[in-house]
Amino acid sequence: MTVCAGDIILEARGVSFSYRSPVIRDFSLGLPAGLVSGIIGPNGSGKTTALRLLDGILRPASGDVLLRGAGSLQRLKRKEIARRIAMVPQNGTVFYYQTVFQFTMQGRSPHLSLLGFESALDEEITLRALEMTQLTGYLHAPVSTLSGGEKQRLLLARALAQQPEVLLVDELTANLDINYQVELMSLIARITREKHLATAVVSHEINLLASFADRIALIEGGTILEQGSAAEVINLGNLKRLFGLDFSLRWRPDGKPEILPIINEGRT
């Protein structure tokens, strides 16, 4: 199947989900090929739950998640979903006894036969994923020797080894220095375009996400408040509504926003 830039690869339509009380309400979002879609919202707004619904880990109480060419995720087996959708989880577990190559090879699991033996092609694909994430210099190094930023790139490499159509990224830049944050988001944006992926990134780093994402979805109370380009959805009213703070907002010559909270020293 030929995929063109902008084609919607994964789409949530009117999705709702509850634990004890509603967490996601009438959530609708399409992920286009070759574009990074950012999801921004306060803590507890349902961002991670939305990603899990998009990955088919959770089943909607109502509505549907549709994967182009395969229909509803609810009708697909987990292994089939994993061949097409890759999730990079927040605080993902790494196995320190493994080498970097062995850990990344885990991404080939959905494509292996029942016997589970890796082929030369699986090894080649794993090497390419490590090349894309600039980790080939650590091929045989124990995972335990990597820095925090390198471990985050390793999680991304494992996801890319799945050869997905859709890449879902949850707070990959959390707790990293700003240089690693910029490096990772730049890497995700480049790979998204080169591999024609439909990518969704959840992040608390508003400036970072608005700088690299092609589209932004603002989520409040489990539903999409507004979505579009940064210029269309980033404004003082929306920021105040989401975070309960006043902000200073200015626009760079490249059309990207610079956002700073206004600190009131008397605020408690």
Name the residue with higher pLDDT: 248 or 173: 248
- How much is the CA Rg of the chain, to the nearest whole Å? 19
Strands (E), the chain: 8-18, 22-32, 35-40, 62-67, 71-72, 85-88, 166-170, 198-202, 215-220, 223-228, 247-251, 257-261
Mean pLDDT of 127-153: 93
Same domain, 210 and 138: no
Q: What is the dihedral of CA 158, 94, 24, 215, to 10 degrees?
A: -40
| Helix/strand/coil for 98 | coil
Cβ(39)–Cβ(202) under 8 Å?
yes
Helices in 195-260 by DSSP H: which ranges?
206-212, 230-233, 236-243
CATH of residue 16's domain is: 3.40.50.300
Q: Which residue in the block uniquely carries the two structure tokens 């480049």?
A: 190
Instruction: Determine how β-strand 215-220 pairs with β-strand 35-40.
Output: parallel
Pick the last residue of a domain from 163, 195, 214: 163
**C-alpha–C-alpha distance, residues 86 and 83, integer Å:** 8
Name, in order, each residue with C-beta under 8 angstroms of 124's C-beta and a sequence gap of 6 or more: none
Instruction: For residue 203, give the H/E element and its range.
Output: none
Pick the last residue of a domain from 140, 163, 186: 163
Same domain, 266 and 172: yes
pLDDT tens for each residue of 26-55: 999 999 999 999 999 999 999 999 999 999
**C-alpha–C-alpha distance, residues 223 and 136, integer Å:** 41
**C-alpha–C-alpha distance, residues 147 and 161, integer Å:** 21
Same domain, 214 and 153: no
Same domain, 97 and 145: yes
How many structural domains is the chain composed of?
A: 2
Same domain, 170 and 109: no
Same domain, 168 and 156: no
pLDDT of 79 over the 60 cut: yes
pLDDT of residue 127: 97
The answer, as to whether pTM is greater than 0.85, is yes
pLDDT of residue 2: 47
| Helix/strand/coil for 138 | helix
Over the chain, what is the mean pLDDT? 91
Mean pLDDT of 163-188: 92
Same domain, 251 and 198: yes
Same domain, 199 and 74: yes
Residue 53 in tokens: 């619904």
Same domain, 184 and 78: yes
Pick the last residue of a domain from 163, 196, 213: 163
N residues, the chain: 268
CA distances from 190 to 35, 36, 184 (A): 10, 10, 10
Cβ(192)–Cβ(6) under 8 Å?
no
pLDDT tens for each residue of 226-254: 999 999 999 999 999 999 999 999 999 98
Neighbours of 82 (CB within 10 A): 19
DSSP string, 96-128: TTSBHHHHHHGGGGGGS-TT----HHHHHHHHH
Residue 98 is part of which domain span? Answer: 92-163
Same domain, 144 and 201: no
**C-alpha–C-alpha distance, residues 3 and 134, integer Å:** 27
Same domain, 177 and 266: yes
Name the residue with higher pLDDT: 92 or 78: 78
Same domain, 80 and 97: no
